[in-house]
């Protein structure tokens, strides 16, 4: 609070959200397994009153956003400064026209933004984004320096990744001293500690829209998404004509070992594969997907036992298809063991897409994989770029 000349106090920007938080620390860190699925979100109606000097002042009513694991958080106005860890949540902010609110990312290099170049007037200033992850974890002081209105980060993600070096006490301190946490780890569902409610992509996106009070943009983008997916799925080949996929991570241009993911996992970064009816090549193999505690790898001999129809390799999103073919696929074709894989022989080895993918990512990724996997069915632009850009910028 700051004092006015007449002795009264006026809330500062930090007070507006910090003192609006009604999330209990027990709920923040205990998992909230009994949280209701019902949204308790209000809009932000205004009330105009006359001041003594004849002028008018406008008071904005508070609104509440409820999301596991943090619970209910009350806001007096939409946040202007937001710390992010997950690029999928960053993409949600951009989609709502709030790119200027983004202060940070865990690893900015994993926030892939090239798709914004196809959307007129849409973008994000990557030079202004602070990297949270350091060589020895996350320095708690960064949160104080950034001085956000809200941390759009799942607090359980910070506590349960031991290499961050943050504990429950640190999260409680940051909640009290800086800003509340709102967020849920949604990109994968393989972490044993995540025993509270998950959200699908548009479920999480709706919560972010409520935080920013941009629910009309959310509704318009969801409508566009629903039409886009329905049109694609109406043209999909039958189930027997859809390939399976082995999803992996290997950042090297000459990979010998791979971290496996599971296409069957319901995490949001698999949504585009599910929308296109791709199945999991690792089904029944006993191989688990990458998680906080499982960092196991597989090699080409293991891949041969599965011999997938296609292989998706993450860690190469900065490359074009041609660059990926000239490096990773070319290496596999010359490799004694990898060259025996059906996917390598058929050249159905593709970039695996971002680890974190938000709603705008999803549109472009679904289009990409539709044309890669089913080139006889899909071609050209499969959704209206201008319509998306107009929604994001408010020009529609």
CATH number at residue 191: 3.40.50.1980
Structural domain includes residue 353: yes
pLDDT at residue 60, rounded to an integer: 62
DSSP at 252? S
Domain end position, chosen among 221, 253, 278: 221
Same domain, 132 and 274: no
Structural domain includes residue 193: yes
How is residue 101 written in tokens? Answer: 């609110």
Same domain, 29 and 84: yes
pLDDT at residue 40, rounded to an integer: 37
- Measured between alpha carbons, how far is 391 from 190 in angstroms, rounded to an integer? 34
Structural domain includes residue 295: yes
pLDDT at residue 311, rounded to an integer: 98
- Measured between alpha carbons, how far is 85 from 208 in angstroms, rounded to an integer? 14
Answer for the pair 23, 187: CB distance below 8 angstroms, yes or no. Answer: no
Per-residue model confidence as pLDDT tens for the chain (396 residues): 433 434 444 444 455 454 444 444 444 544 433 333 334 344 444 443 344 444 333 346 899 999 999 999 999 999 999 999 999 999 999 999 999 999 999 999 999 999 999 999 999 999 999 999 999 999 999 999 999 999 999 999 999 999 999 999 999 999 999 999 999 999 999 999 999 999 999 999 999 999 999 999 999 999 999 999 999 999 999 999 999 999 999 999 999 999 999 999 999 999 999 999 999 999 988 888 777 877 789 999 999 999 999 999 999 999 999 999 999 999 999 999 999 999 999 999 999 999 999 999 999 999 999 999 999 999 999 999 999 999 999 997
CB atoms closer than 10 angstroms to residue 136: 9
- Measured at the alpha carbon of residue 274, what is the angle toward residues 269 and 280, in degrees to the nearest 5? 90
- Measured between alpha carbons, how far is 37 from 15 in angstroms, rounded to an integer? 29
Same domain, 91 and 177: yes
Please choose, from the candidates 84, 94, 112, the residue with its C-alpha nearest in 3D space to the C-alpha of residue 391.
94
In degrees to the nearest 10, what's the CA dihedral of 323, 325, 331, 332?
150
- Measured between alpha carbons, how far is 292 from 162 in angstroms, rounded to an integer? 9
Same domain, 243 and 211: no
Domain count within the chain: 2
Same domain, 138 and 194: yes
Same domain, 178 and 276: no
- Measured between alpha carbons, how far is 192 from 16 in angstroms, rounded to an integer? 35
- Measured between alpha carbons, how far is 344 from 331 in angstroms, rounded to an integer? 10
Please choose, from the candidates 336, 151, 348, the residue with its C-alpha nearest in 3D space to the C-alpha of residue 256.
336
Write b or e for each residue in 258-288: b if 16 or more Cβ atoms lie within 10 A of its Cβ, otherwise e. bbbbbbbbebbbbbbbebbbbbbbbeeeebe
Same domain, 82 and 212: yes
Find the domain containing 248 and state its range: 236-369
pTM here is 0.86
How is residue 27 written in tokens? Answer: 């709920």
Computed over its alpha carbons, how large is the radius of gyration of the chain? Answer: 23
Same domain, 99 and 175: yes
Domain end position, chosen among 221, 245, 261: 221
Structural domain includes residue 2: no
Same domain, 39 and 186: yes
Same domain, 324 and 208: no
Question: Residue with structure tokens 């000239």?
Answer: 326
Structural domain includes residue 347: yes
What angle in degrees, to the nearest 10, is found between the helix axes of 87-95 and 359-373?
A: 100
Structural domain includes residue 379: no
Same domain, 193 and 257: no
How is residue 89 written in tokens? Answer: 């949540």
Same domain, 213 and 262: no
Quick one: the chain helix, strand, coil %, rounded to 5?
A: 40, 15, 45
């Amino acid at each position: 609070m700051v004092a006015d000349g007449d002795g009264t106090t006026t809330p500062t920007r930090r007070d507006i959200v910090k003192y609006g938080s009604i999330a209990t620390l027990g709920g923040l860190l205990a998992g909230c397994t009994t949280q209701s699925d019902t949204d308790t979100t209000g809009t932000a109606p205004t009330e105009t009153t006359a001041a003594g000097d004849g002028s008018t002042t406008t008071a904005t009513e508070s609104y509440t956003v409820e999301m596991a694991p943090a619970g209910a958080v009350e806001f007096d106005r939409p946040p202007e400064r937001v710390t992010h860890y997950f690029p999928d949540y960053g993409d949600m902010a951009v989609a709502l026209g709030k790119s200027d609110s983004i202060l940070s990312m865990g690893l900015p290099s994993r926030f892939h933004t090239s798709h914004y170049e196809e959307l007129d007037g849409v973008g994000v200033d990557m030079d202004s984004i602070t990297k949270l992850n350091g060589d020895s974890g996350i320095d708690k002081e960064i949160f104080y320096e950034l001085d956000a209105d809200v941390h759009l980060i799942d607090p359980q993600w910070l506590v349960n990744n031991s290499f961050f070096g943050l504990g429950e006490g640190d999260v409680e301190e940051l909640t009290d001293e800086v800003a509340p946490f709102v967020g849920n780890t949604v990109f994968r569902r393989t972490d044993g500690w995540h025993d509270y409610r998950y959200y699908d992509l548009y479920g999480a996106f709706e919560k972010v829209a409520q935080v920013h009070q941009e629910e009309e943009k959310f509704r318009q983008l969801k409508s566009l998404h629903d039409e886009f997916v329905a049109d694609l799925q109406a043209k999909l080949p039958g189930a027997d004509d859809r390939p399976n996929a082995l999803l992996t991570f290997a950042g090297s241009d000459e990979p010998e070992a791979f971290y496996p993911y599971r296409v069957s996992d319901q995490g949001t970064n698999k949504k585009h594969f599910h929308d296109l009816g791709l199945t999991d090549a690792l089904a029944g193999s006993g191989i688990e997907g990458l998680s906080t505690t499982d960092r196991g790898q597989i090699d080409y001999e293991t891949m041969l036992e599965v011999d997938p129809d296609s292989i998706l390799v993450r860690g190469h999103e900065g490359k074009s298809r041609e660059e990926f073919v000239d490096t990773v696929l070319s290496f596999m074709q010359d490799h004694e063991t990898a060259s025996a894989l059906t996917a390598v022989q058929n050249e159905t080895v593709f970039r695996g897409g971002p680890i974190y993918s938000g709603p705008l990512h999803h549109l472009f990724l679904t289009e990409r994989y539709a044309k890669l996997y089913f080139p006889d069915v899909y071609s050209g632009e499969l959704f209206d770029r201008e319509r998306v850009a107009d929604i994001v910028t408010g020009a529609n």
